[in-house]
Amino acid sequence: MSELGNATSSGLFGRLCSVMLAHRIACSRVWLATFLVLMATTASMHEGQVLSGALLLLGVILVGIATVGRVWCLLYISGYKDVQLVTSGPYSICRNPLYFFSLLGMAGVGFATETVTLGLLFPTVFLAGYVGVVRREEEKLRGQFGPHFDSYCRSTPRFMPHLASLSEPSTYEVSPRLFRRSLGDVVWFVWCVGLVQLVVTLHERGILPAVWRLP
């Protein structure tokens, strides 16, 4: 009975991951709506303290790294995604650099709220939601590229970058149109930090009441 339950749970999880993979934009919008509600009702317990400024600085640094990192990734896959296996640049140090930099961005936005709680919560929720998506994507790539992808997996970590493995070509051809269209997936981290600071200011001035305060 337990094996049947596990199989059912696994099947449901797999279908959920497939839905998330197919509707990533919709999932991002749901996350954004949840984020906006949370920001409108939550304030930091560290307002006016040195820790508040330190958390904001950490958040801005992480978002900066995430933004540059995601642009770097998009540069290498623009015009090549689903056509060939990209293994150079950021994809030479880990197999999922876009998700790695997104994780940093999520943590950065969380810390920009000047709370430790959201700085840890956002990347944790991101990991929980996307670990299955990453596996599904890798299954698709394995079916598409076969032994070449298996060899790539053996030499390149899935998520945590191995900087010593960095390999970059001297020149690289990119589709400018696809690259430009993809930039919209990058800048929203920066927009979120600006929005967070606007909400923080509204809370500090009493214009927007906070339902609860987080450490």
Output the pLDDT for position 4: 38
6 confidence band (pLDDT: 50, 70, 90): very low
Q: What is the pLDDT of residues 51-109, one digit of tens each?
A: 889 999 999 999 999 999 999 999 999 888 778 999 999 999 999 999 999 999 999 99
Output the pLDDT for position 50: 87
Output the pLDDT for position 133: 85
DSSP string, the chain: -HHHHHHHHHHHHHHHHHHHHHTHHHHHHHHHHHHHHHHHHEEETTTTSHHHHHHHHHHHHHHHHHHHHHHHHHHHHTTTTTTS---SBGGGT-S-HHHHHHHHHHHHHHHHTT-HHHHHHHHHHHHHHHHHHHHHHHHHHHHHHTHHHHHHHHHS-SSS--GGG-B--S-----HHHHHHHTHHHHHHHHHHHHHHHHHHHHHTTSS--SEEE-
Task: Answer whether residue 1 shows pLDDT above 60.
Answer: no
The pTM for the full model equals 0.82
168 confidence band (pLDDT: 50, 70, 90): very high
